[in-house]
Amino acid sequence: MKIVSTVEELRIALPTNQTIGFVPTMGYLHEGHMSLVENARRENDVVVMSIFVNPTQFGPNEDLDRYPRDFERDEKLARDAGVDVLFYPTTETMYPLDMARVTVHHGADVLCGASRPGHFDGVLTIVSKLFNLVQPTRAYFGLKDAQQVALIEGYVRDYFVPVEIRRCPIIREETGLAKSSRNVYLSDVETVEASRIFSALTMAREALDTGQQVDEVKRQLTERLNEIPNSQIDYVELVDYPTLGAVSSDSTELLLAVAIQFERARLIDNVIWKKG
């Protein structure tokens, strides 16, 4: 595995005439990231991973400074997973002048975008820079960040970026808790309680299967999530997917998405429901 940190080194390390599967990450790798690498390996000649904690997607009062980082551990995991090129740039490399950024036009005013203003502008800005540098054939994103996936797909379509976006399923603990780098902030008790998020989402999906109305499903889901002790609901939403607009009679896929604040961790999770 080649480890590179400058644009020049990356350009030299990238193959020509081979397909590139790209896995962008912010590090502190877990099984969710590993499954993205597995998919990328299967479908491409070469796998490139980036590790960069992107400052522009964190708000002023968010956890940029304490976001978990462990490059030595990540490097070993990436190597063992079969990553060919690991791009580990500095902020100065990724934001040399910081003169231009991408702005989301639609879909950033709901779900995480509503509680984290500017977050998705930061995500699309860094993803756009990384796509330009790596020029991947395919790029792999986990559906735990379903809003991120929808906005990246929209960006790629609107800007005619020649990359195929591959949606990958959420990887969960046996308890149902979605794997996340931020799970390290949970206490043992919170880790147990947090598994109730997925049970509540599963029940909501089943309620949709039985034909219950969206408002009623949302009410019951909110009630169940409110029962999780020492936590607070940030949002509970059912939206059309991947447009992220309001659910209508034409909707064929719904995103049931929630964000729950524990003492030190804000967790997001979701399920996608497809019309019978």
Residue that is written with structure tokens 């644009």 in the block: 7
Min. distance of Cβ 9 from ligand PAF in angstroms?
20
Site for ligand PAF contains 145 (CB under 6 A): yes
The answer to whether residues 41 and 82 touch, using CB atoms and an 8 Å cutoff, is yes
Q: How far is CA 203 from the centre of its chain?
A: 23
Tokens at 224, concatenated: 């169940």
CA dihedral for 85, 70, 128, 243, sign (positive or negative): positive
Q: Write down the H helix ranges in 100-236.
A: 111-115, 119-134, 146-158, 188-194, 196-209, 214-226
Is residue 40 part of the contact set for ligand PAF (CB under 6 A)? no
**Which residues from 4-33 bind ligand PAF, rule CB under 6 A?**
24-26
* 93 touches ligand PAF by CB under 6 A: no
Q: Which stretch binds ligand PAF (CB under 6 A): 4-12, 120-128, 161-169, 223-231?
A: 120-128
SS3 235: strand
Residue from 83, 123, 156, 208 that binds ligand PAF (CB under 6 A)?
Answer: 123
| CA atoms within 13 A of residue 274's CA, in its CB half-sphere | 1
Q: Does 143 bind ligand PAF (CB under 6 A)?
A: no
| Nearer of residues 143 and 207 to ligand PAF, judged by Cβ | 143
Looking at residue 275, its amino acid is: K
Residue 234: which H helix or E strand, with range? strand 232-240
Q: Which is nearer to ligand PAF, 141 or 241 (CB)?
A: 141
Nearest-approach distance from CB 28 to ligand PAF, in angstroms = 10
Task: For residue 251, state whether it binds ligand PAF (rule: CB under 6 A).
Answer: no
Q: CB under 6 A: which stretch of 71-79, 123-131, 171-179, 196-204 binds ligand PAF? A: 123-131
DSSP state of 172: B
30 is an active site residue: no
Catalytic residues: 33
Binding site residues, ligand PAF, CB under 6 A: 24-26, 54, 57, 123, 126-127, 145, 148
